[in-house]
Structure 1
Amino acid sequence: MDRRIRRDVRVDGVVQGVGFRPYVHALATRLRLAGRVGNDVAGVFVEVEGAPEDVGEFLTALERDAPPLARIEHVHVSEAAPRGLAGFEIAASDAHGVRNTLVSADSATCADCLRELFDPADRRYRYPFVNCTNCGPRFTIVRDVPYDRPLTTMAGFAMCGPCRTEYEDPRDRRFHAQPTCCPACGPRLALGDAADPLAEAVRRLRRGEILAVKGLGGYHLAVTASHPTGAATLRARKHREDKPFAVMAADVAQARGLCEVDERSLRDLTGHRRPIVLMPRRSDAPIADAVAPGNRYLGVMLPYTPLHHLLLRDLGEPIVLTSGNLSEEPIAYRDATPLAGIADAVLDHNRPIHIRTDDSVVRAGALLRRSRGYVPEPVTLAQRCRRPVLACGAELKNTFCLAKDDHAFLSHHIGDLENLQTYRSFTEGIEHFCRLFEITPRVVAHDLHPEYLSTKYALGLDGVEFVGVQHHHAHIASCLADNREAGPVIGVAFDGTGYGTDGTIWGGEFLVASLHGFERIGHLAPVPMPGGSAAIRQPWRMAAAYLGSEIPGWRPEWDAVVSLARNGVNAPLSSSAGRLFDAAAALLGVRDEINYEGQAAVELEQLADPTIVDAYPVRVDELIVQGVDLLRAIVDDRAAGVPRPVIAARFHHGVASAVVNGCCQARDRTGLDTVALSGGVFQNVLLQTRAVNLLADNGFRVLTHRRVPTNDGGISLGQAAVAGV
């Protein structure tokens, strides 16, 4: 009696470019099964037949023991008649049909490749482009799908005999690893006419020179982190006055010499995504003052390419590694020409980058910037989109999002849409994602602000339906989508700026919100922004607007700005929580003028004493938060000689208490007991942690961001979720 059975299997998710086919081949061969496995535009297909118990074990192990970089979303199994096949094979890829395949993110060098890199007996010893199915470039080199070598930027590198043998051997770790190569057939380093580019790069770094270094997603600017002149020169040439530089350390031990590394940060540092991790800086960290002036935190990452490993090991100390761009422009990626006025030399290579991708940034386990290592892996939605959606995002920290069915493809970090180069990166990125995931948008979502370039782009498209999504509704919808929920919830959206439905500037909002709509039920009491955008650059203006003549003579221009605020001339009303933090920072002498977005609030949080638990009282009348109460308390405590770190902590806890008070009033009004926190102000770990704990103590279920940033980098996801229902 023939007991053979056959099952046809469809595997969806991130299953191409991660060693899934060789894994399936090895699993089926071990279980003595016949059939085949292959890639197509929808993912991976498997046909398997054999004894029922062996087929059963195959189906059980398929997900359980999948390769580390695979992310399986669905496994569909159907019965079919056995065909009497002998042996198991890997079929040729099929490029026909509707594309639903998911592309893997770039992944840090795995342990096996790292051993080869430093093994003198290995043929890839010290080869800066060693990779396998478990690591290496993916998204940044993919031109189209299915993910096969001819459709990547490795197409121009013909494999040598030994590499071809590995590539075609199902038992090899490099079986169908599309970027596979070696010194005989792969990309090469160059630094001018240097015979040994890596050694020359190390010599130049030791002299304090600035290098442009080509990485996975673009060029970085590097300088030895301990070199005072080199770091200061980099800051001057890049026109970056205060914003901290990121630092790359060779290993965990070196990172611990720079920062206090807790277990959560350690997991992020050493994981395959390798983001920049913000951690408390050690007072004795061996870095120049110009690396992170006046900052108690430091952004540190570990090497994620073989080139970085070689460079850091040979140099023997940490380096600054910051995005290779001019101020406010996107990272350079095709060549280093834009960096000619900054870098003294270029450590280059000839593997093309197809799509520029900045480093991702994480703090306390939360994403602040979602880019390399995470993109383009999708966010799975709780509700399927009725029609394909393009969401164009916000103006600052822009990302876009394409959504189809239950997948939302949030883009890499684009940046602030304030110049032609960044806008071009935005439009080129949309075209690439539409092609890569074969999505033709029928609905286009945009911010309500008519002057945002992202809005203008959206409204310039033809043959689509437009959906305007209010900025803070998009924040809360992003948090809902991040948590695979639909609402309604009490939404607390605290940020710097957002265009309100009443034409004023919002930013301290209490909403009743779902993916289907929202109602504004409360907010911070609005105050004028004297001088408009000048009040963002000069936080003391917000202190003047809040307190008026209560503290005359604090600055020579104080009375004039107070008058401007009262007259309402060039002083738009704003309910912004970000501006409240700015005013507090100015009153505490933290920051009168800023050189990058959010600087005053960042430094105010760093000033706060974490041991203080008491809070300033603040009135919340009918869900209107009187922020001026907090500022008056600051003035009183300063006059009484209370230490500034204590005042800063009491202010933070006062804001958190106001959030909880507002949510309790909202619960009494609506009966809702789930709260979603979103907006850039909740990047503040001290504020968010206190608010979450107090809300939980008061019986609320709290949603915060997990997979996407709480700042404007997550706005496009919220827009897509709203437009897709």
Structure 2
Amino acid sequence: SFPNNKEMVQFVSKEIEKGKLVAIKGIGGTHIACSTMKNDVLLKLREAKGKRKFKPFAIMAKDIPSIEEFAELNSEEKKLITSFRKPIVLLKKNSDYYLSEWVSPDLHNVGVMLPYAGIHYMVLREMGEPTIVMTSANPSNYPMFIDNDEIMEKLPYVDYFLLHDRKIYQRNDDTVIRINKLGKNFSYKFIRRSRGWVPEPLISHIDIKNNIILGIGAEMHLIPSLMKGTRIIPTQHIGTVTLLETYEYMIEAIEHLLNLYNSKIDTVAYDMHPQYMTSTSIDEILNLFDIEKHTAYQHHEAHIASVALEQKIHPEEEVIGIALDG
């Protein structure tokens, strides 16, 4: 036991530097933190996470000068990474890159974010090292862990737990963005749109008036969305819906949006693939949300339709689209 929270955080911070794994519960879920410098602990974490043999880990840096020691950072990237949204931004490693090769093996870039919760600031303030790995604690295809008992039960390989007793009402993964530069112009490429952007709507050139449509999507990298008038309102990142836990998370996220917007769904659109869980469960979804109409869409046609919407093409215009997927 510790006499106060400060000493507890000091202890945990020093243990991270020594090469220990620490589960840290934040505001949208739980991360596993470890040193970015020690190969042994990074390999242990990769082994524990199973499918993360070579996938990159996100890191959290203390401040901008700390980032500039190992990564290139242009003006737009700096503006984005310091914004109130605090996403993970993919940055090019610089010639002085000194972090372990096992942070992002065989890649020229690394995902970096700054602290966005009080506990993050407290931990990094006590650290001698300016960066830590901050990767989601949940295994692939599972929702983020938010219940303390579940966190301790599902993470037996973790050395320490830094938790709080506040209820997380809605899980929310970190947003991941890459900034593309073409000439003097910059554009955002969302790898994952979630914390910091949700439930901010996208504005469409099409107005469906008083109708409310739920688009569920396919199965992988799912982000269901409501369309109301000209607004498309995505949920947070849900992930791949092949497990009951993730399916239930998807339902909770949809219910949350409906409560926020005080809405009832008129029509649901979903993928026509007969073996996707989102398709095989359509009768349950119709019953759960009391939906009268439903439409199944061909997967690649939906991809092309989304690009047409993005380019503000009218639904009655004829287009030729090529969807390269899978």
Aligned residue pairs total 306
SS at match of 1:349: coil
Task: Name the counterpart of 1:382.
Answer: 205
Q: Does the CA contact (< 8 Å) of 2:303 and 2:323 recur in 1? A: no
Equivalent residue number for residue 278 of structure 2: 454
For residues 260-301 of structure 1, what are the alpha-carbon distances to aligned partners after superposition, in whole Å with 9 as ceiling and x for unaligned? 112222222111111111121234322122211111111111
Output aligned runs, 1:353-368, within 5 Å. 353-364=168-179, 365-368=188-191
Kept after mapping to 2: 8 A contact 1:326/1:339: no
Q: Secondary structure at the match of 1:261?
A: coil
Structure 1 portions without partners, runs of 5+: 1-191, 498-725
Counterpart residue type for residue 16 of structure 2: L
Structure number having the greater helix percentage: 1
- Contact map agreement 1:225 1:319 (CA 8 A) in 2: yes
Q: Is the 8 A contact 1:278 1:361 kept in 2?
A: yes
Aligned partner of 2:293 in structure 1 is 465
> CA 1:272/1:342 → structure 2, altered by over 3 Å: closer, same or farther?
same
- Report the secondary structure of 1:245's partner residue: coil
From 118, 128, 136, the counterpart of 1:306? 118
Opposite residue 312 of structure 1, the aligned amino acid is L
1: distance between equivalents of 2:159 and 2:201? 39
Deviation (angstroms), 1:485: 4.6
- TM-score normalised by the chain length of structure 1: 0.41
Quote how far apart the aligned CAs of 1:484 are: 4.8
Pairwise CA distance, 1:412: 0.7
1:348 aligns with 2:160: no
Per-residue deviation, 1:337 = 2.9
Residue from 249, 252, 261 that aligns with 2:61: 249
- Structure 1 residues 277 and 446, CA gap change in structure 2 (3 angstroms): same
Gap change, CA 1:238 and 1:378, over 3 Å in 2: same
Does structure 1 retain, via aligned residues, the 8 Å contact 2:152–2:161? no
Does 1:267 pair with 2:79?
Answer: yes
| Pair 1:418–1:343, CA change in 2 (3 A) | same
> How far apart are 1:344 and its partner, in Å?
1.1
Counterpart of 1:408 (choices 224, 228, 232) is: 232
Match of 1:297 in 2: 109
**Sequence identity (%):** 32
SS class of match (1:425): helix
Partner residue in 1 for 2:221: 397
Tell me by how many angstroms 1:403 deviates.
Answer: 1.7
Alignment-derived partner of residue 223 in structure 1: 34
Cα distance in 1 for partners of 2:252, 2:303 equals 25
Find the aligned partners of 2:169 and 2:201 in 1 and give their Cα distance: 19
Aligned ranges 1:179-578 → 2 under 5 Å: 195=4, 196-239=7-50, 240-316=52-128, 317-335=130-148, 336-364=151-179, 365-386=188-209, 387-460=211-284, 461-462=286-287, 463-486=291-314, 488=317, 490=319, 492-497=321-326
AA paired with 1:284?
D
**Residues 57-77 of structure 1, C-alpha deviations (whole Å, 9 max, x = no match):** xxxxxxxxxxxxxxxxxxxxx
* 8 A contact 1:209–1:223 mirrored in 2: yes
The runs of 5 or more residues in structure 2 that have no matched partner are: 180-187
Checking the alignment, whether the CA contact within 8 Å between 1:326 and 1:338 is kept in structure 2 is: no
CA gap of 1:490–1:254, structure 2 versus 1, over 3 A, is farther
- In 2, the alpha carbon distance for the partners of 1:493 and 1:268 equals 32
Partner residue, 2:182? none
Q: Which has the larger radius of gyration?
A: 1
Higher relative contact order (CA 8 A, sep 6+): 2
Q: Normalising by the residue count of structure 2, what TM-score does the alignment of the two structures yield?
A: 0.87
